[in-house]
């Protein structure tokens, strides 16, 4: 069974800092990997989706990379802002199964 791990579980940084969130998975036979954001008491919002054939995706200050062979993905957030404070989850899919990590709770201090 696919296992998805996110490290660290929590991260606190000062505003303006660049940061990296990590996601690892045990089975490299994935179709895609998604990064989501979850605000307290809310649903998940998709940030970036990387297909298995891609190496990275970018959206604004966010950049996600994928290394299937090593079973890793990173989410890079540039120039962090207090509004980026949320829990970030990664999810992988393989053969119509979907597996989520437990998330990294990010706090960006003003």
In the chain, where do the E strands start and end? Answer: 4-7, 10-14, 19-25, 32-38, 44-51, 56-59, 62-67, 72-77, 86-94, 97-100, 104-109
- The verdict on 76 binding other proteins (CB under 8 A) reads no
Using CB under 8 A, which of the segments 13-21, 63-71, 74-82, 89-97 binds other proteins? Answer: 89-97
Q: What x-and-dash track marks residues 28-67 binding other proteins by CB under 8 A? A: ---xx-x-x----xxxxxx--x-x----------------
Q: Please give the size of the binding site for other proteins, defined by CB under 8 A.
A: 22
- CA 13 from chain centre, in angstroms, equals 17
- The verdict on 103 binding other proteins (CB under 8 A) reads yes
Spatial distance between the Cα atoms of 100 and 3, rounded to a whole number of angstroms = 8
Binding region for other proteins (CB under 8 A): 31-32, 34, 36, 41-46, 49, 51, 89, 91, 93, 96-98, 100-103
């Amino acid at each position: 069974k696919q296992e998805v791990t996110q490290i660290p579980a929590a991260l606190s940084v000062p505003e303006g800092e660049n940061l990296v969130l990590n996601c690892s998975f045990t089975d490299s036979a994935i179709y895609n990997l998604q990064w989501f954001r979850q605000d307290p008491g809310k649903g998940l919002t998709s940030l970036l989706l990387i297909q298995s054939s891609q190496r990275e995706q970018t959206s604004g200050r966010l950049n996600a990379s994928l290394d299937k062979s090593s079973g890793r993905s990173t989410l890079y957030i540039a120039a962090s802002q207090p509004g980026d404070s949320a829990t970030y989850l990664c999810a992988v899919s393989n053969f119509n199964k979907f597996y989520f990590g437990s998330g990294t709770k990010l706090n960006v201090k003003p």
